[in-house]
Amino acid sequence: MQISVARAIAYEALRRVEAEGAYATDVLHADLAAKVKPQDAALATEITLGVLRWRRLLDFLLDRSLKKPVAKLDLPVAIALRMGLFQLCFLDRVPAAAAVNESVELVKRARKASAATLVNAVLRRATKEPNERVERLLPADLSQAERLAVLHSHPTWMVERWLARLGTAATEALLAANNKTPQLSCAINGIDHRDEVLSSLTKAGLRVFPGKLLKNAIAVSGGSPARSDAFHKGWMSIQDEASQIVPLLLEVRPGDRVLDVCAAPGGKTPTLVRAAGRMGMVVAADRHAHRLRAMRTQFERLGLGNVPVVELDATKSLPFGTEFDRILVDAPCSGTGTLARHPEIRWRLKPEQLQEFHALQMQMLKQALAQLARGGRLVYSTCSTEPEENDEVVAEVLAVCPRTRRVTAEEMTRGLSQHLVAGVEADTLFGRLGHFRTIPGAQNCDGFFAVAIEKE
C-alpha cells in the first residue's frame, strides 16, 4: 500500500522532532517545497502540529489499549499510533480506513513490521468505540491540575503554576488557546509594495485579511506565504503581530546607532534598519555562527545585505568601542508564549530551566545596559509568559543599575498608537508599569513581554 505524501511528511517531521530535537515548523518549512500540493502541505502540517499539541491526551487514550505505555514503545510505533488516533479523533474529513491503514504501513516502512498487528488492532478498536467524553474516562481522584493537564494536553507542572498565578478561568483559557491553530501573520515591508503583496498572495491561492493590531500587518490562510513571489522578492515576511510590535517600541530615529543583541533569526532587525535609515547604523549580533548564516540569507532576501553581523556572547562584556542610541535585547527564553505555534516546547521544557533562563537574561540585560548611551532607549523582550523571565528580570536588573528608568505606559502608548489599526487602544497592551504584554487567546497573537528602559 502506498503512503500519502502528507502522512509521509508528517511522520518524518514527528520523527525528527522526537529523535533529533528539531522544531516542527522548521522541518515542515524545509520539506513542504513548491512541488508539494497545497492540500498535502496543509494536511501534513495539521497532523504534525496536531499530534504534538495533543500528545498527552492521545497517549492517555492509547494507553488504555496497550500493555505498556505508548511512550515506552519504539518511536516509529508510537508515532504511527499517535498519528492514527489523532486523525480518528480530530479530523472528521479523513476516512477512518485511511488513518488506520496508512498508520500500519508507516510502521512496516520503518522496519517495525512485528508491531503492525498491534497498531492495526489498537486503531481499529478506536474506530468502534463511542465518542465518550474524555472526562468520564479520567480517574475520580485526579487533582484539578492533573485533570486539566490531561484534558488540554499540557505538562502537569505547567498547569500547576498557571493555576496558582492566574486562577482557574484564565488558566483554562490559556490552555485552550495553546491548542488552537494560531493565526499566520505577515509584515509588509514598507508601504510601497502593499498592493503587489496582496495581489501576489491572492494569486498564490491564499486568503488575505487585515491585521488585528497593526496597520502594516496582514493575516493569511489557505497556504504558505513563503510560496508567493512577494515573499521571494522580499516585500513581506512571516511574523507574528506581537513580534512585529516589539522593535517599534524602540522608536528608532533616522541616524540612530542601533544594536540588536540577540538578532537571529533576523525577524525584528529589518524594522530597525528601515527606521534608522541610510545615515544610521544597525548591528545584528548573535552567539551562534549557523544562526548568523541563516540571518544573512534572510537579510539578502529583504535587500538588506549591508547590515553588519557580529558573533558574540551577550552574557559577557560587549566588544564595541561605541555606545548605542537604541538597543534591542530579544532574549532567549522558554517560549511559553508560543506553545500553539511550537507545541513541542511544552514537552521539552523543564521547570528548573526557568531559573536558568532568568540568570542568562539578567546577564544579557546588564551587559546591554552598559553599552547604552545616555538618553538612549533599550527594549528587553521575550516570548514567554513566565514572571521569572519577564517582570522579575527587569526589577532585579534595574535595582542594581543606576541612572536607569522604565519608560512609562503613557510614553509607550504615544509612540505605538500611530502604528495600530483603528479601534485598537494602545493602553490595553500595557500594564501599570509600562510593561507591554500580549496573552494567547486574549489577542490573536503569541504571548510576548517587553519593557523599555532609558538611561538618564
Enumerate the active-site residues: 383
Contact 94, 64 (CB under 8 A): no
CA nearest 414: which of 432, 438, 430, 394? 430
Tell me the C-alpha distance between 175 and 154, whole Å.
8
By CB atoms closer than 10 A (0-12, 13-18, 19+), residue 68 is exposed
Tell me the C-alpha distance between 120 and 130, whole Å.
18
Residue pointed to by grid coordinates 489557505: 222
* C-alpha cell of residue 158: 505547567
H or E stretch including 300? helix 289-301
Q: What is the DSSP letter of 371?
A: T
Measure the CA angle with vertex 74, ends 125 and 11; round to 5°.
Answer: 75
Whole-angstrom Cα Rg for the chain? 23
The alpha carbon torsion through 287, 289, 292, 294 (nearest 10 deg) reads -130
Q: What is the DSSP string of 366-412?
A: HHHHHTEEEEEEEEEEES---GGGTHHHHHHHHHHSTTEEEPPHHHH
Residue pointed to by grid coordinates 496543509: 42
* C-alpha cell of residue 82: 499517535
* C-alpha cell of residue 271: 524594522
Burial 143-163 (b: 16+ CB within 10 A, else e): eebebbbbbbbbbbebbbbbb
Exposure of 249 in the CB half-sphere (CA atoms within 13 A) = 35
By CB atoms closer than 10 A (0-12, 13-18, 19+), residue 403 is exposed
* C-alpha cell of residue 23: 522544531
